[in-house]
């Protein structure tokens, strides 16, 4: 029996706040939309001349007004145009699959219809043996796999529920004079093989679909008395028109096996109860529990072991975002400043200054970070020299957080400086010359020429760095190991400088809470994915990709 549960928990508050913020935002957008639609005509974009002649205050007012009027437009397009378009495309895609299948079935001749059962038949019948063989081999391989191994795994995969799986059995083995063990089900292996089989099945279905499509296409070619490509021509095609297939075959295969498979496995894991109390092959196997883990996160759950996952998740999320913002922007601005002052005309020994900073990139990052953690440790150099025991990385104040950001600056500035230096060298000098002739001082030159150019060019990189910092495992883990343990009870071992990702690491490797860790990963992923998809796809670089070539 649990003790008095808290009346309203941190996680519930987080959920309520989250939902109300969304509701509020929607209301604001709707309002602006209405206002915008009504007053759209009354906002007129100013011409260049008018902008130039505006005073600074007017310009600011104009820009603000323009932004406000753009928001409803943006929201409107997103809601009314993009999302329906996406949905329509997806729906069309699905319908298209079934249409093709229907066409092939209805309009296909006997050769095509046979291809439904025996893959590659259409090609055999038309004397294109190479392609036919490929498809046929795929079918044989898949059937063999399913019969020998996969079918069994798939069955156990879907029926892995409580009471349905048996772990191990202890029995006395007279031969060896010891207690021996017989193993039955192993839920982890069931999960893994099940996932693999599912992936193979999906791949096979895709191959089967392609087979049908190709069979029908071959039939159409034959009916139109056109030439069906031979094997030799296919190979020629592969290095020319279809070269992307050749090039991407191996990378995508690697991606499939080493990235997609683990991610799907991890998603399935989030719906089980695999943790330290439910390991794979003893008596307490783990089983499917549906979406229970997700509720635990949001209801400030008394998850496994009295840990208030909801509250911890919220706190860590806040620090992760704060950290990403500070880490990215301090590096960016300071790196840019350093690059600019090195690049200034009157400074000599430019190469020397750059080399000194670049040296820190050359040393492997983990060495630098481990070294820093040792230097600032409780027994490290700084403390021993000054005879103190200041917990630079272990104190319960803002100190570890500040130290982490500072050390990250130390690690990160050379990268930014390098990048910006290269860009600075590319800015045509005559821009500066003409500005000087027009009487612009150095600060103004910087603001009008240098800064916009650099910003424009490095925005994609900035976005990528920001997203990378959200998941920046190495810096935090190697420096503080997650920092001092949080002081509140029920923190589940999370620390004060823990990012979501380092806490995740602890959950997985120290506490073996695989299921909860998967849930947290999925939530983290949703957050970062939404942010970066929007940012990346809207960034000017992508829009102007074609222009640049």
Partner 1 sequence: MKRLRSKKAVERGTNAAIYVILTVISIIWLFPFVYLLMQSFRGEPGQATAYFFPKQWTFDNYIHLFTGEGISYKDGLVKATEVKFPLWYGRTLLIALVVTVIQTLIVLVTSYALSRLRFKMRKPLMNLMLILGMFPGFMSMTALYFLLKLLGLTQDMSTVGLILVYVGSSCMGYYICKGFFDTIPKSLDEAARIDGANRQQVFFKVILPLSKPIIIYTILNAFMAPWGDYMFASLIAFGNSNYWNVAVGMREMIQPAALSTYADSFQRFCAAAVIVSIPITVLFFLLQRYYVEGITGGSVKG
Partner 2 sequence: MKQRWITFTLAGAIALTAIGGLAACAPEGGGGGGGVDANTIQIWGPGHETSFIESRLNAYVQAWEAEHPGEKYPYKLVQANAGEDDAENKFNVDATACGDVYHFASNQLMSLMEAGGLARISPDMETRIKTEDMEAVVEACKIGDGYYAYPYTSDNGYCLFYDSDVVTITEETTVMDVIEQCKAAKKQFIMPMKDAYYAASFIYGAGATYQATYNNSGKFLSSKNTFAEKPAGSEYSYGELGGKMLADLFELSNSSAKGYTATVIAGGNTEVETALNTEKFGAAVTGSWEAASIAYATVNGEPLKAAACALPDWVSTLDGNTYHWRAFMGYKMIGVNPHSSHLAEAHRIAAFLTSEESQLAHFNEWYVGPSNKKVAESDEVLNSEYSFSFKAMNEQREKCSLPQKPCPQDYWNNVGSFAEWLMDYNANISDPKTPAADKKDLKTRVEQLAKALTQN
List residues near partner 2 by CB under 8 A: 1-3, 141, 145, 148-149, 167-168, 170, 176-181, 186, 189, 239, 246, 249-250, 253, 257, 276-277, 279-284, 305-307, 378-379, 387-390, 396, 484-493, 509-512
Q: List phi, psi (to 5°) of 430.
A: -70, -20
Instruction: Tell me the closest approach of the beta carbon of residue 206 to partner 1, in angstroms.
Output: 13
Interacting residues of 93 by C-beta distance below 8 A, sequence separation 6+: none
| Residue 544 binds partner 1 (CB under 8 A) | yes
Contacted by 154, from partner 2, partner 1, none: CB < 5 to 8 Å by type: none
Instruction: Tell me the closest approach of the beta carbon of residue 76 to partner 1, in angstroms.
Output: 23
Interacting residues of 33 by C-beta distance below 8 A, sequence separation 6+: 72, 75, 76
Nearest-Å Rg of the Cα atoms of the chain is 31
Is 299 or 360 the residue whose CB approaches partner 1 more closely? Answer: 360
Which own/partner contact pairs does 271-275 have at CB distance under 8 Å and 24+ positions apart? 271/515, 272/187, 272/191, 272/515, 273/515, 274/187, 274/188, 274/514, 274/515, 275/304, 275/511, 275/512, 275/513, 275/514, 275/515, 275/516
Contacted by 169, from partner 1, partner 2, none: CB < 5 to 8 Å by type: none
Contacted by 375, from partner 1, partner 2, none: CB < 5 to 8 Å by type: partner 1
User: Which residues, 336 to 395, sit near partner 1 by CB under 8 A?
Assistant: 338, 341-342, 344, 346-347, 353, 355-368, 370-372, 374-375, 379-381, 383-385, 387
The residue count for binding partner 1 (CB under 8 A) is: 103
User: Which residues, 506 to 525, sit near partner 1 by CB under 8 A?
Assistant: 508-509, 514, 517-518, 521, 524-525
| Residue 501 binds partner 1 (CB under 8 A) | yes
Cβ(341)–Cβ(347) below 8 Å: yes
Is 383 or 532 the residue whose CB approaches partner 2 more closely? Answer: 383
Nearest alpha-carbon partner for 100 in 218, 174, 209: 209
| Residue 419 binds partner 1 (CB under 8 A) | yes
Strand partners, 180: 171
Cβ(147)–Cβ(267) below 8 Å: no
Is 437 or 489 the residue whose CB approaches partner 2 more closely? Answer: 489
Cβ(514)–Cβ(274) below 8 Å: yes
Host H or E run for residue 492:
none
Instruction: Tell me the closest approach of the beta carbon of residue 95 to partner 2, in angstroms.
Output: 33
Instruction: Tell me the closest approach of the beta carbon of residue 138 to partner 2, in angstroms.
Output: 11
| Residue 231 binds partner 1 (CB under 8 A) | no
Instruction: Tell me the closest approach of the beta carbon of residue 343 to partner 2, in angstroms.
Output: 41
Residue of 45, 174, 240, 438 interacting with partner 1 (CB under 8 A)? 240
> Which DSSP symbol is given to 46?
P
Contacted by 177, from partner 2, partner 1, none: CB < 5 to 8 Å by type: partner 2
Cβ(339)–Cβ(451) below 8 Å: no
Is 23 or 144 the residue whose CB approaches partner 2 more closely? Answer: 144
Distance, first Cα to last Cα, the chain: 68
Token output for 186? 């192993």
Instruction: Tell me the closest approach of the beta carbon of residue 235 to partner 2, in angstroms.
Output: 9
Contacted by 176, from partner 1, partner 2, none: CB < 5 to 8 Å by type: partner 2
Contacted by 38, from partner 1, partner 2, none: CB < 5 to 8 Å by type: none
Is 24 or 78 the residue whose CB approaches partner 1 more closely? Answer: 78
The span from the CA of 460 to the CA of 457, in Å, is 8
Whole-Å CA distances, 242 to 224, 236, 237, 474? 23, 9, 6, 40
Is 10 or 495 the residue whose CB approaches partner 1 more closely? Answer: 495
| Residue 528 binds partner 1 (CB under 8 A) | yes
Contacted by 181, from partner 2, partner 1, none: CB < 5 to 8 Å by type: partner 2
Three-class secondary structure assignment of 179-201:
EEEEECCCHHHHHHHHHHHHHHH
Instruction: Tell me the closest approach of the beta carbon of residue 169 to partner 1, in angstroms.
Output: 23
Token output for 308? 């208030």
Token output for 459? 């925005």
Token output for 219? 């039939």
Contacted by 186, from partner 2, partner 1, none: CB < 5 to 8 Å by type: partner 2
Residue of 199, 464, 490, 493 interacting with partner 1 (CB under 8 A)? 464
């Amino acid at each position: 029996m649990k003790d008095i549960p808290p009346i309203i928990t941190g996680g519930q508050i987080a959920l309520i706040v989250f939902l109300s913020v969304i509701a509020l935002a929607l209301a604001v957008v709707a309002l602006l939309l209405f206002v915008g639609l009504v007053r759209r005509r009354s906002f007129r974009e100013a011409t260049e001349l008018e902008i130039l002649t505006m005073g600074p205050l007017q310009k600011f007012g104009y820009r603000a007004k323009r932004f406000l009027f753009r928001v409803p437009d943006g929201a409107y397009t997103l809601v009314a145009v993009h999302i329906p378009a996406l949905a329509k495309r997806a729906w069309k895609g699905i319908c298209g699959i079934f249409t093709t299948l229907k066409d092939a079935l209805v309009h296909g001749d006997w050769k095509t219809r046979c291809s439904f059962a025996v893959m590659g038949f259409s090609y055999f019948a038309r004397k294109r043996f190479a392609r036919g063989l490929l498809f046929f081999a795929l079918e044989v391989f898949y059937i063999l796999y399913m019969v020998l191994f996969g079918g069994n795994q798939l069955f156990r995969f879907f029926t892995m529920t409580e009471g349905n799986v048996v772990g191990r059995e202890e029995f006395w083995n007279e031969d060896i004079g010891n207690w021996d063990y017989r193993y039955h089900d192993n839920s982890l292996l069931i999960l893994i093989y099940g996932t693999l089989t599912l992936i193979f099945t999906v791949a096979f279905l895709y191959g089967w679909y392609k087979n049908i499509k190709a069979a029908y296409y071959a039939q159409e070619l034959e009916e139109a008395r056109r030439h069906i490509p031979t094997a030799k021509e296919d190979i020629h095609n592969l290095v020319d028109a279809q070269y992307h297939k050749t090039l991407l075959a191996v990378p995508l295969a690697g991606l499939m096996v080493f990235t997609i498979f683990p991610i799907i496995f991890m998603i399935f894991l989030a719906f089980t109860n695999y943790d330290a109390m439910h390991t794979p092959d003893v008596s307490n196997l783990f089983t499917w529990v549906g979406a229970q883990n997700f509720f635990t996160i949001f209801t400030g759950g008394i998850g496994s072991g009295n840990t208030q996952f909801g509250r911890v998740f919220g706190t860590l999320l806040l620090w992760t975002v704060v950290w990403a913002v500070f880490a990215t922007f301090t590096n960016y601005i300071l790196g840019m400043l350093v690059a600019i002052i090195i690049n200034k005309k009157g400074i000599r020994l430019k190469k020397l200054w750059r080399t000194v900073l670049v040296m820190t990139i050359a040393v492997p990052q983990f060495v630098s970070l481990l070294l820093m953690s040792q230097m600032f440790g409780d027994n490290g150099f700084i403390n021993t020299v000054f005879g103190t025991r200041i917990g630079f990385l272990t104190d319960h104040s803002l100190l570890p957080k500040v130290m982490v950001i500072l050390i990250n600056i130390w690690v990160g500035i050379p990268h930014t400086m390098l990048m910006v230096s290269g860009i600075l060298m590319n800015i045509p000098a005559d821009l500066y010359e003409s500005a000087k002739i027009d009487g612009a001082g150095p600060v103004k030159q910087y603001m009008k020429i240098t800064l916009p150019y650099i910003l424009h060019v490095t925005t994609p990189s900035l976005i990528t760095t920001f997203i990378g910092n959200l998941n920046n495992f190495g810096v935090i883990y190697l420096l503080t190991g997650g920092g001092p343990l949080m002081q509140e009870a029920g923190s589940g071992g999370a620390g004060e400088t823990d990012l979501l990702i380092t806490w995740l690491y602890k959950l997985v490797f120290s506490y073996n809470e695989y299921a909860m860790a998967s849930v947290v990963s999925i939530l983290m992923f949703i957050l970062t994915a939404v942010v970066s998809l929007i940012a990346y796809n809207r960034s000017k670089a992508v829009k102007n990709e074609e222009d640049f070539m």
